[in-house]
Each structure stands twice: as structure tokens, then as C-alpha cells.
Amino acid sequence: MAHRAEEHEEGHDERWLVSYADFITLLMVLFVILYSMGQVNVEKYKRLATSMRSAFTLGGAAQVVDSQINQAGGNKEDGSSKPIVVPGIPEGPTQSEEVAGQLTSMLSSQNLGSEVSVQTNVEGVLISLSERLIFKEGQVDLPPESKQVLDTIVAMLQPIKNKVRLVGHTNNTPSSNPNYPTNWELSLARATSVAKYLISSGIAPERFIISGQGEYAPVFPNDTAQHKELNSRVEIIIIYQLESSVINVNAPAVLP
């Protein structure tokens, strides 16, 4: 009897091993479930990324960041700052400076330097020609003196292939031309007149994008005669060319 009691007591002391083994088994199952859930979420995120990529490229996959883009920035050898370079967009506004120099030299003797503005923006090089320089008030026909300015722009456009956006603007004075009863129509007709002259001078018509803003995009308040002359203008925007590899809607999707 003593021997049996000793065996019973010893077995009772080791019953905790059964509970411990059950606990380890359950813990292992828990980690397996958590791991499986993590794998499912990864697949969901991959599908979500693919769907968003397709939505933003109208069904095609996009290569948003190209290996040719230098994202390092930093400094040049002379210590000056070095900008991030994207293929197709020039590092500095050298082209606009050349255009500004040509137009300024040509117009300085005519006291018309203030009638031309040359700037650069994210879209390209913007040349603004005031009404006083290229049009008579309320008219859409180009006077002879305006063609000298446009010929300079033609000479700059001929060796390049960039698209050109032409935007006509007016001030808030109602149109006095019965053929163009609204400023919308007048501004569009002026942009078209400039386009026709550039095309007749040898610039391919498929390069042009033409629009009219009417009086609704002034650069100054229409409070003085000079400001109104500057608001009535035609803008010529030489659009930067972007290489197709920067944003390629036909590139295969690459998932992480």
C-alpha cells in the first residue's frame, strides 16, 4: 500500500507537464495564426498597390521614379548648390536668359522693353507680349511692327521640338469688336492670330495648344491704363520636354 501511494503521489506531482504541453501547443498555434494573418495582409496590400497604380494611370502601370533621376542634390565643384536633375528639364534657365537677351536688345532702341516679360516656371519658358506691342486696341490683326518680335521667337522655336502653348488675355474692358462680342472670343482670336503667323513662318501646327482666358487671369489690377495694357497680352509658353522613361504608363508593375 505504501508503494502504491508513493506512485500515486509521484504521478500527481507530474500532471503539470500535461498542462504545460497544452499551453505550448496553443501558443504555437497562436503564432501560426498570427503569421498567416500577416501573410494575408501583405497580399492585400500588394493588390491595393496594384489597384491604385492602375487607377492613377488609367489602366496602365506607372514607373513613377526613374533611375536616371539624380536625387542627391548637394554642391557643385565651385561650392554652389546643385539642384536635383530630372531628365528633360534643364538644370538652369539658360534658354530663357537667351530669349530675354535677344528680345531686350531688339526692343531697347524702341523703348518697348517693358512690354515683354520672360520667365520660367514648372511648365516651361513663358514669354508674355503686351497688347501695345502686338495688337491695336480691340483688334486681332497683327500690325507690321509686331512681326519683328515674333520673328525673333520663330528663330528660337525652329531648332527645337517643344510643344508651344499660346494663351490670349484681355483686361476687363468689354470688347468693342462686333466680330468678337466677348473677351473670351477676343482673347482666343488673338492667340490664334499669333499661332497663324508662327505657322506661316515655318513652325509645325501640331506643336501648338491654343486657348483664351478673357479678362479672368490678370497679372495686375485693372486700375490704370498701363496695367490694362499689360493685362491685355498673349503668352507664349515653350513647354519643357519630358523623356518617356520618367513616367512610363506601359512599364510593367514592380511589386515590393
Domain boundaries, the chain: 2-56, 94-239
Sheet holding 233-239, edge to edge: 116-120, 124-130, 233-239, 164-168, 208-212
Q: Quick one: angle between helices 183-200 and 144-157, nearest 10?
A: 60
Per-residue pLDDT at 253: 46
The whole-angstrom separation of Cα 118 and Cα 237 is: 10
Per-residue pLDDT at 147: 86
Residues contacting 75, CB < 8 A, separation 6+: 81, 82
pLDDT, averaged across the chain: 74
> Can you read off the three cell numbers belonging to residue 88?
528633360
Q: What H or E segment, with its residue span, contains residue 54?
A: helix 16-56
Judge residue 233's burial from the number of C-beta atoms within 10 Å of its C-beta, 0-12 exposed, 13-18 middle, 19 or more buried.
buried
Stretches where the chain sits below pLDDT 70 are 1-13, 36-114, 242-256
- What are the CA-CA distances from residue 203 to residues 46, 101, 195, 197 (Å)? 47, 22, 9, 9
pTM: 0.57
Tell me the pLDDT tens digit for each residue of 28-83. 877 777 776 665 555 555 665 565 455 445 444 444 444 444 444 445 555 554 54
- What are the CA-CA distances from residue 67 to residues 56, 70, 87, 188, 252 (Å)? 21, 8, 10, 41, 15
Per-residue pLDDT at 187: 97
Q: Among all chains, which residue has been given the C-alpha cell 504555437?
A: 28
Radius of gyration of the chain (CA): 35
What is the SS3 assignment for 235? Answer: strand
DSSP 8-state symbol, 181: -
Domain 94-239 has CATH 3.40.50.10950: no
